[in-house]
Structure 1
Amino acid sequence: MASSIFDKLQVEFIDQDEGVQVVADTIGSSGEVPERYVRHEIEANIVIIDNANGGEALPPGDLVKKKNPDFSEEEIAKLGSACEDWGYFHLVNHGVDAGLLQQIKADITEFFRLPLQEKAVAIPPNGLQGFGHHFFFPKEQKLDWADLLFLVTRPVEERSNGFLAYKAFHIQLFKFMAINLGVDEEALLGVFKGHTQSVRINHYPHCRQADKVLGFSAHTDGVGLTLLLQVNDVQGLQIRKNGRWFAVKNLPGALVVNVGDILEILTNGKYKSIEHRAVINPDKEMITLAAFHKPPLSCTVGVGPLQELLMKGKAHYKTVDVVEFTKGYFTAKLEGRSYLERLKLGV
């Protein structure tokens, strides 16, 4: 395979010596969770759960209605409100073939059923694609209770195994966002021209001591948009709003869309990149697929507030090179919004 676009980052990543599933199988129902996975901060946060419906419902977004002139103004306003208030929304009627989604879910489930040695997609030196952890982990840093498979699906020449990418309806979402923001759509789309799409498949084994581990540490996504597919029906996504954690209820057939750091910066803070995390179920595994859309590393525009928005006020974020931004994100050790906050002006 040709050298990865991530070679340009020159960031040290670690491979995963053993899968978390192996650890989970080893400790069973009576063993102790290894200290490096024990997360004391879970008990310090209050998770708000609506017992009436199983979790906090995200605002819905309907792609079909957005394309319908009779509904588009109202639906685009709802889209903007969701991006400003929550940074997340459920996307229904998204146009992805149901049969294709079911096949993807079946393939993913089958992959994680394989023995560890058969998941023959180990991360190469200085690479990012493969099975394992994908952030820099000092020895003292706690690990997440998750096995990850990371693949680059766009541009096509970067694909390592022919994995099918999501249909590019994210471009349509960007167009609707441009309308809501009152900016020229090419100004927004131009940042993502020749965009990079990558896929992270997450497997969270169950853990009888679920209150001691985290599936994914609290973080924001260092991208433009993230599209999340729930492979099975196990709930575990939580988002942080106003200092409290909210459990997100799964909506059958929907994708969960969230604003990433880059989109918050481009909108000069109007849209919010919200902290989120994954918690573990004591009895059932959880599997998700997240597709990330971001500018290519070759982008010359840089990551900074759109000029049209600056006509209405001062810049709240620095403008940085895409490579610099990406390198900084991957070395920030998944510490909530810390990296995004460091890019703010006057902070």
Structure 2
Amino acid sequence: MDGSSVVLAPSVQELEKQGITKVPKQYLQPNQDSILVSNTTSLPQLPVIDLSKLLCEDAIELENLDHACKDWGFFQLINHGVNPLLVENIKIGVQKFFNLPIEEKKKFWQTTEEMQGFGQVYVALEEEKLRWGDMFFIKTFPLHTRHPHLIPCIPQPFRDNLESYSLEVNKLCVTLIEFMSKALKIKPNELLDIFEEGSQAMRMNYYPPCPQPDQVIGLNPHSDAGTLTILLQVNEMEGLQIKKDGIWIPIRPLSDAFVVNVGDILEVTN
């Protein structure tokens, strides 16, 4: 994106701290698609995949994975093997980071030329709508893609936990791609070889309370461009919505589970 065509949006968290009762006009997005809301169990449920069963060569679970990837492009992953203590420390670290004083967070502020960092870059058009959320985005691998003023400046122990977590999640992605290859009945390394020099990035989102929640959006509707997205929710608030068969369905997050999203690259490759 051309740096001359963008500006830096203000922190939504700081805006919310002012005790506003109405959302500024530039955040209002009233014409959103309707969401399927129901208190019954009749709503379509996101598939749940048990990695421990896959590791034990459970043929039925492999079929379940194949179905989830082809019919949903999403699934919740349980028994994923990532250290539970590390996951909890990441949750705590993310919360503490977003609770830092704005003066501290400005040390990580994005620039109009670079998306890595804290903030929310947006196109400087009069009709451009802003999202109700703050973001901290960093590239973790390959190492040369990292910015020297970001990860080394993250407070401890969050910095070391992020390093460990990025390695664990990378291993998990490799494992999932291996099982996806098996489900597709292709050579074991056919997909992995394509992504051997792949990149990894982490995006942390914070969505503050909003006085008009039905008039804003935290993240625009999109598909992920990468290979796999491993989503960790800090709390069990229902915020993620997935469009299936033309309907937006709210996802009920499971405790100790990741939500996995099959990205555009993997879909095209298949």
Confirm or deny a common fold (TM above 0.5): yes
- 1:41-70 Cα offsets, whole Å, 9 max, x none, are 22xx2211341359753101111110103x
TM-score normalised by L of structure 1: 0.68
* Contact 2:9 2:121 (C-alpha < 8 Å) held by counterparts: no
Within 5 Å, give how 1:6-17 maps onto structure 2: 11-12=2-3, 14=6, 16-17=8-9
Q: What's the CA shift for 1:185?
A: 2.7
Q: Give the whole-Å Cα distance in 2 for the aligned partners of 1:89 and 1:136.
A: 32
Between 1:141-150 and 1:187-196, the stretch displaced more is 187-196
The equivalent residue for 2:138 is 151
Match of 1:245 in 2: 248
Report if aligned partners of 1:18, 1:116 keep a CA contact under 8 Å in 2.
Answer: no
- Which sections of structure 2, spanning at least 5 residues, go unmatched? 152-158
Deviation of 1:26 (Å): 2.7
Q: Does 1:33 align with 2:23?
A: yes
Name the CA shift for 1:234/1:128 in 2 (closer, same or farther; >3 Å): same
Distance 2:120 2:10 in 1: 10
Alignment of 1:112-191 (within 5 A): 112-119=98-105, 120-124=107-111, 126-134=113-121, 136=123, 138-159=125-146, 160-161=150-151, 162=159, 163-164=162-163, 165-167=166-168, 168-191=171-194
Q: Is the 8 A contact 1:15 1:133 kept in 2?
A: no
Deviation at 1:17, TM superposition (A): 4.2
Q: How does 1:1-347 map to 2 (within 5 A)?
A: 11-12=2-3, 14=6, 16-28=8-20, 30=21, 32-42=22-32, 45-52=33-40, 56-69=44-57, 71=58, 73-119=59-105, 120-124=107-111, 126-134=113-121, 136=123, 138-159=125-146, 160-161=150-151, 162=159, 163-164=162-163, 165-167=166-168, 168-267=171-270
Residue type at the aligned position of 1:155: P
Q: 1:216 to 1:125 in 2, by over 3 A?
A: closer
Aligned AA for 1:110?
K
The CA distance in 1 between the partners of 2:126 and 2:221, in whole Å, is 19
The superposition leaves residues 146-167 of structure 1 with CA deviations (integer Å, 9 ceiling, x where unpaired) of 1000011112343441532151
Alignment deviations for residues 296-346 of structure 1 (CA, whole Å, 9 cap, x no partner): xxxxxxxxxxxxxxxxxxxxxxxxxxxxxxxxxxxxxxxxxxxxxxxxxxx
Alpha-carbon separation, structure 2, partners of 1:243 and 1:205: 28
Asked if the contact 1:130/1:150 (under 8 Å) is kept, the reply is: yes
Residues 2 and 113 of structure 2 are in contact (CA less than 8 Å); yes or no, is this contact kept in structure 1? yes
> In structure 1, what is the equivalent of residue 154 of structure 2?
none
Q: Say which SS state the counterpart of residue 226 (structure 2) adopts.
A: coil
Q: Give SS of 1:227's match.
A: strand
Question: Are the structure 2 counterparts of residues 125 and 214 from structure 1 closer, same or farther at C-alpha, using a change threshold of 3 Å?
Answer: closer
Higher relative contact order (CA 8 A, sep 6+): 2
Deviations 1:158-196 (A, max 9, x none): 344153215121101111111111222322111211210
Counterparts of 2:118 and 2:131, CA distance in 1: 14
How far apart in 1 are the matches of 2:258 and 2:38? 21
**In structure 2, do the counterparts of structure 1 residues 190 and 136 end up closer, same or farther at CA, with 3 Å as the change threshold?**
farther
Normalised TM-score (structure 2): 0.87
* Cα-to-partner distance string for 1:87-144 (whole Å, 9 max, x where unaligned): 1100001011111111111111011111222112112452221001256453421111
Instruction: Tell me how far apart the structure 2 counterparts of residues 17 and 52 of structure 1 sit (CA, whole Å).
Output: 39
Specify the code of the residue in structure 1 equivalent to 2:55. Answer: K
Q: Please tell me whether the aligned partners of residues 11 and 126 of structure 1 are also in contact (alpha carbons under 8 angstroms).
A: yes
Aligned length, in residue pairs: 252
* Higher helix proportion (structure 1 or 2): 2
Q: Conserved in 2, the CA contact under 8 Å of 1:15 and 1:134?
A: yes
Check conservation: 2:109, 2:117, Cα contact below 8 A. yes
Task: Tell me the secondary structure at the aligned position of residue 199 of structure 1.
Answer: strand
**Structure 1 93/134 Cα, relative in aligned 2: closer, same or farther at 3 Å?**
farther
Give the AA of the match of 1:18.
Answer: P
